[in-house]
Amino acid sequence: MTEPTRTTVRQRLYAFLIAGLGGLAASAISFSMTLYEAAHPPKVPVVQAGQQIDTGRWFVTLRTARVGTVPPTGVPPSRPVQLLMVDLDVVNRSATPNNVLYRTVTLSAPAQKLPMPTVYLDRDKYLAGYFNPNMPERLTMAWEWPAGVSVPDKVTITVTGQIYKLRDNLYGASGWYDRDPVATVDLPVEKAL
């Protein structure tokens, strides 16, 4: 091997070594930042009742919470149940009608998992279907509370954000995707007479 060839091979070896060390350092820094962010998640802001929350796909304003045995329709259920009802205002900001509000507004529940809430339109006191774009609606979300579990004096509602992607990473299709919680609201629970 001639001297210029040895120099070229040595230079390439140094370049590969430096690039490898740089990549290793970048991986170590990225991993440590991920661990730090997982150990110190950002605090979810606590919002007052009546304050509008921007989730990306919705504007949500939580009003009041109450417990009762009759749903907003006014028709008592065939079997006695206890319902935790939350009154809220929503505006669908997407371009199409949808009804996936239950993924955005969740209730911190007792140890048992609560079933999905039933959503009622306040204007006609009936089950809500799809919410039209840019049309404000006043709703009541009703969760069936487990029998034998006392309803707390205060409930915490978590509002989750959603983001629109023109193309997702898996299918290349557009859609709304869930993100982290954007706010929590503590609501005092009014007891029915």
Confidence of residue 28 (pLDDT cuts 50, 70, 90): very high
Q: Which amino acid is at 144?
A: E
Q: What is the chain's mean pLDDT, rounded?
A: 89
Structure tokens at 68: 């009762």
Contacts by residues 114-117 (CB-CB < 8 Å, ≥ 24 positions apart): 114/143, 114/144, 114/145, 114/146, 115/143, 115/144, 117/141, 117/142, 117/143
**Cα–Cα separations (whole angstroms), residue 110 to 24, 156, 180:** 46, 11, 21
> What does the pLDDT look like over 51-76, one tens digit per residue?
999 999 999 999 999 999 999 998 98
pTM score of the predicted model: 0.77
